[in-house]
Amino acid sequence: MQQYTPWVTAMSQALAVGDPEAFGAALVGFDCARNCDVTMRVRLVASGLQGALKRFHVDSKLIDLAHHQVPDARHQLAYVLRLTDDAAHRTMDLVEQCCPLADQIAHQAERLIAAQGSVAPQEPIKAQIGQFLKQAATSMAAVRSNLSEVLLTQGYQDLSGQIIRSVMALVDELERALGHLVRIAGAGAGAGTDAGTDADTGADSERGSGSGCTARGHGPSVPGVDHGPAVRGQQDVDDLLSDLGM
Amino acid sequence: MQQNLNILVVDDFSTMRRIIKNLLHDLGYASVSEADDGNTALPLLKSGNFNFLITDWNMPGMPGLELLKQVRADARLGSMPVLMLTAEAKRDQIVEAVQAGVNGYVIKPFTAATLKEKIDKIMASRAAA
C-alpha cells in the first residue's frame, strides 16, 4: 500500500490546485506502481506453481514405484527364490539317483575282481561279466541322462540373474526419486526455479520410460507380475509362429 | 558328428553359454563359439565363417533383436539362419522377432529336445529351399 502514497498525494495536490498535467503524470505513476505489484504477485504464483508441479512429478513417480513397481519387485524376488530352490532340489534329486547306480557298478566290479583271483572254475565268471557289462551300460546311460539334466537345470542362473538386474534398476530409480524429493524438500517451497533439477527430473523420466523398451527386452515373465500378453511355454510360441506363417 | 555347422552362441550369461555349448556338443555340433552380446558378436560374424547364429534377446550393449536386424541388413550375413533363445515371452516381441526375420524362437527354460527340434527344422527348411 505504501508504494501508492506519493502518487495519491501528488494527484490530490494537482486536483487541489487544478493542474491537469500534474494530475495526469501522478496517475501514470500510480498505474505503473500498481502494475509492478501485480507482476510481482504473478511471478510469485508462477514460481509456487512450478514448485508444486515438480513435487507432483516426483510424488507421482514415487506413488507409481510404491504402488506398482515395489510390489512387482517383491513378486520377482519371490520367484527368484522359487527358481533357485527348484533348481537346487532338482540337481540334488538327480545326483541322488546317480549315486546308487555308481555304487552298484563299483560293488559289482569289486566282486568280479575278487572272483577273478579265486581258484574256482572260470565259466560262472564269464556269465557274471556279461551281466555286469549289461548293467553298466544301462546304469551309465541313466547317469549320462541325469548329468545332461543337471546341466540344463543350471539355466536358472540366467533367468534369476535377469530378474535380479531388473530389481537393481528399480532400486536405482527409487533412490533417484527419493533423492529428488529430499532436494526439493531441502530447498523449500520457493526454490522451484532450479534449472539443474528440472534437467535431472527430465532425464530420469526418460530413463524410466526407456527401461520398458521392447527392443531391449523385458526379462523373464514372472507369475503375478503383469507385463501384457505373454506366452506360457514353447507350445504357445510354436502356435503363435504357426499363426504367423512360420 | 555334424561338423558342417559353425555356430555362434550369443548370451550375456556365461552359464547359459556353457549349457547351450554342451547341449550342442551332445547333438553332434563340435564347432561352437561364444559371444556375450551383439557388439562382440557382430565383428566375429563378419570376420568368421559362421553359418548358424543362436542368440539371446535381453543383453546389455547390443540386444539380440538389434543383432538380428544388423545381420539381416548385412549383404554377406543376410541369409544366415538365426535362432532366438530367450526368456522374452511377450507375444508382441515374438511377432517383432518374426518381422525382423528370425528363423526360430525357443523360450527359456528349454529342453535339449526342443533345441534339437528347432535346429533340425531350420536346417531342413534350408535344405528344401
Residue A19, SS3?
A: coil
Q: Is the confidence at residue B85, as pLDDT, over 90?
A: yes
Contact in structure between B64 and B87 (CB atoms under 8 Å): no
Contact in structure between B99 and A215 (CB atoms under 8 Å): no
Dump pLDDT digits (tens) for B18-34: 999 999 998 999 999 99
Helices in A65-122 by DSSP H: which ranges? 70-116
| Residue B103 C-beta-side C-alpha neighbours within 13 Å | 24
Among B96, B106, B43, CA closest to B71:
B43
Report the distance separating Cα B114 and Cα B127, nearest Å: 20
Burial of A25 (0-12, 13-18, 19+ CB in 10 A): middle
Dump pLDDT digits (tens) for A65-119: 888 888 889 999 999 999 999 999 999 999 999 999 999 999 999 999 888 877 6
Q: What is the pLDDT of residue B2?
A: 56
What pLDDT band is residue A194 in, cutting at 50, 70 and 90? very low
Contact in structure between A157 and A90 (CB atoms under 8 Å): no
- Three cell numbers, residue A114: 575278487
DSSP-assigned states of every residue in chain B = --TT--EEEE-S-HHHHHHHHHHHHHTT---EEEESSHHHHHHHHHHS---EEEE-S--SSS-HHHHHHHHHHSTTTTT--EEEEES--BHHHHHHHHHTT-SEEEESS--HHHHHHHHHHHHHHHHH-
- List residues of A whose CB lies inside 8 A of any B CB: 148, 151-152, 154-159, 161-162, 214-221, 227-234, 237, 240-241, 244, 246
Dump pLDDT digits (tens) for A31-67: 888 788 778 887 887 777 777 777 777 778 888 888 8
What pLDDT band is residue A205 in, cutting at 50, 70 and 90? very low
What pLDDT band is residue A193 in, cutting at 50, 70 and 90? very low
Say whether B57 and A220 touch across the interface (CB within 8 A).
no
Residues 6+ positions from A78 with CB-CB distance below 8 Å: none
CA distance B65 to chain A (A): 6
Single-letter amino acid, residue A206: E
Q: What is the pLDDT of residue A213?
A: 57
Residue A230, SS3?
A: strand
The DSSP symbol for A226 reads -
Q: In what order do the strands lie in the sheet with B104-107?
A: B32-35, B7-10, B52-55, B82-86, B104-107
Q: Is the confidence at residue A25, as pLDDT, over 70?
A: yes
Contact in structure between A142 and A101 (CB atoms under 8 Å): yes
Q: What is the pLDDT of residue A59?
A: 78
Nearest CB partner across the interface for B22, out of A151, A162, A230: A151
Nearest CB partner across the interface for B89, out of A155, A215, A230: A230
Report the distance separating Cα A40 and Cα A38, nearest Å: 5
Residues on chain B touching A90 (C-beta within 8 angstroms): none
What is the mean pLDDT of the segment spanning B69-95? 96
pTM (predicted TM-score): 0.71
Lowest-pLDDT choice from A166-175, A189-198, A210-219, B116-125? A189-198
Dump pLDDT digits (tens) for A138-191: 999 999 999 999 999 999 999 999 999 999 999 998 888 888 888 877 765 544
Say whether A155 and B19 touch across the interface (CB within 8 A).
yes
A83-118 as b/e: b if 16+ CB within 10 A: beeebeeebeebeeebeebeeebeebeeeeeeeeee
